[in-house]
Amino acid sequence: MKGANYIEVLRDHLLVPYAIHECEVFMQDSAPAHRSKVVQKFLTDNNIPVLDWPGNSPDLNPIENAWNEMKKAIAKKRPTNINELKQALTKLWVEMDLSYFTKLATSMTKRIGMVIQYKGNMTKY
């Protein structure tokens, strides 16, 4: 994805929810499109501060675990076109048990402890 494409995604899916929920900071990884000058300017122009997130940090974002679970579930369903994929993803997201996300969130203390223990190197997460 190029910076211009990412700006379209941000414009279509970030600006309104960011304002509605009165967010204070935006988190993204260090993908090249995210670091591009045009994207940085877009975020600055829209008063969206970005969390400083090292590019090679151990993955402390628990949503990645949820994406992995969804990826495995989608692989079993084997959608044959984009509409089937969208429907399957939407259904999976809506049906995911809230307790799973609570478990992911409460795992942060342990995750951070492991990162410290491994001196910033990769952990089991």
Helical packing angle, 98-106 and 63-77, nearest 10°: 140
Whole-model pTM above 0.95?
A: no
pLDDT tens digits for 65-81? 888 899 999 999 999 99
State residue 79 phi and psi, 5-degree precision.
-60, 145
Residues near 92 by beta carbon (within 8 Å), at least 6 away in sequence: 70, 73, 74
- Reported as a single tens digit per residue, the pLDDT across 77-121 is 999 999 999 999 999 999 999 999 999 989 888 888 888 888 877
The backbone torsions φ and ψ at residue 21, rounded to the nearest 5 degrees and listed phi first, read -90, 5
